[in-house]
Chains A and B, each alone.
Chain A
Amino acid sequence: MSATSFTFEPVFLGLAGLAALAYAWAARHKRPPARRIALFAVGLLLIAASLNSPLETIAARRLLLVHLLQNALIADIAPPLILLGLTAGMRTWLDAHGARRLRARYALLAWLAAWYGTHLAGFYDWALRSEWPLNVEHGLLIAGGLLFWWPLVSGRLTPPAAIAYLGAGFVASSFLGLALIFSSRPFYSFYEHTQRLWGLSPIRDQNLGGIVMNGEQTLVFLLAIGWYVWRLLEEEHLGAAGETPAAR
């Protein structure tokens, strides 16, 4: 199969379609702001497109680097975009239907378990060779990402708590990327025997994959931490002026 051929994980096309329908149904009485719709749509598109395109072909058959890029897109970038696309009413509805019970510490643990668990060599190789478990791998990563970002987007964490939460997540998740960068032997036997692209050796492919993962997480987490530092400063400013965020 050519590297530019399309490969599909139809289950995620279906899920993205269902999510879009659910969003439209939830927004039937009051149209959400355009930026919310755009964020939600981009989040869904990232998942649907990265799992149903030549990216999937290269990720599942040629290069670990592209597979890790795909995982970063669906686990770290798409989930916060999808959640930021929800309106206050949608978040309230989710809270009322069980999401409120999700404690931040358990969300963090669940995300880390999904992150490290799906990247264990045995599981990763099995998923790639058997193909259908790839759906499980990607489903776990998306679910883990949604769980991790929910306590932040739902607004239940104060800026200091959010900074601590993101800091813990950044540190705890960074070991995988660093292990891939510093490794001198391939972790995943599947990619040792595949037809490769761009002249990348298995080990260089793996090192580059670690760099992509580490660079992406650094960017996403520092941006998120920066946002909450901004809100912390804003709160102090309002506090000094004798106002409250609600009164503003």
Chain B
Amino acid sequence: MLAHAAWSAPPLVLSLTAISAALFTQGWLRLRRRGRRDLADWKRAVLFTLGLLVVLAGLVSPIHTIGENHLLSVHMLQHVLIGDLGIALMVVAVRGPLLVFLVPPRVLAPIVRAVLSFLLRPPVAFGLWAVNLAVWHIPSVYTSAVLHPVLHDLEHACWVIAGLLVWTLLVDPGSHRRLTIGGRVALAVAIFAAGQALTDVLVFSFHPLYPLYRGAYGISASSDQKLAGLVMMAEQLLTLGTLVFVLIRPRLRHPRLAPA
């Protein structure tokens, strides 16, 4: 098999995937055994599995090897899969009582609850997400991460955690009401605006910002960089756009308001 199309099997990734799948399965089965199949139906299982597969695809499929060695745009695809799309699907899958059944009570010690409660404050979660986005795209940091596997793993962990924080606020799987509907729409718009700032830097730049990437598969380094921006914009429009539409859909037929 060609190096650029290689699959990989990082033990840490596979272990975490197995743990996530096991946690979901036991919670899903427990809820079903209690007679609440309506809250733990097959659609939830399919959504969670899909989310897990999306994250896994980003980390073990050729997306990982091509992104690491050849194309910035594929590396960007990997980041949005593991930090956005996959996480969003999984958070949507566990909303409602299933979330309580997912995590064993012993895990949620007071200290863990306190830390989560702090991290899930909207300004904190958004701030961490935005800083994470900015820091990992500084060319020198980006290059170091690609060259050092441990740092690269840390980068991916940061994407997953930052994604989990903001998508927990956006979807509100536990109905904690940390944000109103308007607040969730505002957060989605803020995330898109922050992502758009990075997109614009990548798309509007005529010179490659990341020297490791010199183009491949007939794509020049400059086009590859523009494509990376486009990948991010398209994925955000898909995920955040869908979320905003779902949130505002019931309110699209309100009475007429006063003019601007």
Contacts and interface: CB of A to CB of B under 8 A. Distances in A.
Nearest to A170: B237
- Interface range on chain A: under 10, 10 to 19, 20 to 34, or 35 or more? 35 or more
A229 B185 contact: yes
B260 A163 contact: no
B72 interface: no
B88 to A, nearest CB: 18
Interface stretch (A8-16, A61-69, A130-138, A207-215): A207-215
A107 B25 CA distance: 49
A222 interface: yes
Interface string B68-79: 000000000000
- Interface range on chain B: under 10, 10 to 19, 20 to 34, or 35 or more? 20 to 34
B241 interface: yes
B135 interface: no
19 contacts: A155-B257, A155-B259, A158-B251, A158-B254, A161-B254, A164-B252, A171-B237, A178-B203, A181-B226, A182-B223, A214-B200, A215-B200, A218-B196, A222-B196, A226-B193, A229-B182, A229-B186, A233-B180, A233-B183
Given A171-B237, A207-B206, A233-B180, A222 B259 contact: no
The 9 closest A-B pairs by CB, nearest first: A155-B259, A160-B248, A232-B182, A158-B254, A160-B251, A233-B182, A236-B182, A229-B186, A211-B204
Interface in A139-184: 152-161, 163-164, 167, 171, 178, 181-182
A225 interface: yes
A246 interface: yes
Contacts of B182: 159, 229, 232-233, 235-236
B244 interface: yes
A215 B259 contact: no
A88 interface: yes
